[in-house]
Amino acid sequence: MKTVSLTVPELDKKLREMYNSRLAETNNETLKKVRHALVETIKNDLTERQKETVILYYYKKMTMAEIADILGVNVSTVSRTLARARKNICDRTKYYFY
């Protein structure tokens, strides 16, 4: 068996690398859980109008004015719909993590 001697700075560097690697792995797992919770909530817990508005705003990167034109509603209606959707998402996703 070969013995490897590490100086304190080398050991510190190795420990930091191991910690950062594990932290990145944990963050990736957490991110996957968050994404899954968001997708499930959007699919199952939002109204059709809320789904459509969330997809256009967050995924298609459209402005509220553009969404209002497409849906044939006022910008304030789009704003309220997004606010309600965000509240629903927050209310529902907290159960995935507690």
- Summary mean pLDDT of the chain: 84
| Furthest C-alpha separation in the chain | 75
- Give the per-residue pLDDT at 76: 98
Q: pLDDT value at position 35?
A: 85
DSSP-H helix ranges across the chain: 8-45, 48-54, 64-71, 75-97
Tell me the whole-structure pTM to 2 decimals: 0.69
Residue 84 has pLDDT above 90, yes or no: yes
Name the band, by pLDDT with cuts 50, 70 and 90, for residue 6: low
- The CATH number corresponding to 8-97 among 3.40.718.10, 2.60.120.200, 3.30.1600.10, 1.10.10.10 equals 1.10.10.10
Q: What is the pLDDT of residues 20-60, one digit of tens each?
A: 777 677 777 878 888 888 888 899 999 999 999 999 999 99
Token representation of residue 2: 């070969």
